[in-house]
Amino acid sequence: MSRIGKQQITIPAGVTVTFDAHAVRVKGPKGEIMRPVRNEIAFTQENGIITAEPRRNDKFSRSLWGTYMSHISNMITGVVTPFEKKLLVEGVGYKWDVKGADLNLSLGFSHPVVMQIPQGLTVVAEKSALTITGIDKELVGLFAMKVRQMKKPEPYKGKGIRYSTETIRRKQGKKSA
């Protein structure tokens, strides 16, 4: 039995959730999200409360049960209050700026790195901080991870791109005799 799957999800005011044959659509004040779902889980919606139950009692259906309930909960949260990730850049000459739908990164390479911002995300670049916001939790986290991978923080001087909540374990380096 899935602990997450057994929980009920309450739908806040101003949010509508519809279940099609192969998709879940959540519409709220900040936007609309659609996610495809398989037929192994039966969803019921009564009086603003969503519950789910697996149609079969096999391992695959039980694993999807909690996963889908978690996805629906994140979708409802996202259309009410968008998700946000904040990245910081440290290092001499390291900088970023947003031009249209592109994120331009100067990270000490011989060429500038240009990344296209996915549709549905809002990216704001300040001096050393980059804020990524959007209603899709998965898309926000994926784009933040891709930006961080361009230049991971190194442990000796701490140069690179890191999350704002992340702490870098520093190493001592060489000692002179």
The larger pLDDT score, comparing residue 51 to residue 173, is at: 51
Flag whether pLDDT at 132 surpasses 80: yes
Flag whether pLDDT at 158 surpasses 90: no
| Residue 177: predicted pLDDT | 63
Average pLDDT score over the chain: 93
Residue among 49, 42, 47, 40 at smallest CA distance from 19: 42
Mean pLDDT to the nearest integer, 31-58: 93
Residues 99 and 151 in one domain: yes
User: Tell me: the pLDDT tens digits for 45-63?
Assistant: 999 999 999 999 999 998 9
pLDDT band for position 99 (cuts 50, 70, 90)? very high
Flag whether pLDDT at 160 surpasses 70: yes
For residue 171, is it within any domain? no
Structure tokens at 117: 């911002």
Mean pLDDT to the nearest integer, 100-113: 93
State which of 52, 80, 108 marks the end of a domain.
Answer: 80
Flag whether pLDDT at 176 surpasses 80: no
**Torsion angles phi and psi, residue 35, rounded to 5:** -135, 130
Domain enclosing residue 143, as ranges:
83-163
Residue among 159, 168, 171 at smallest CA distance from 89: 159
State which of 50, 80, 110 marks the end of a domain.
Answer: 80
Flag whether pLDDT at 73 surpasses 80: yes
Alpha carbon of 59 to those of 20, 36, 40, 78: distances in Å? 24, 20, 11, 29
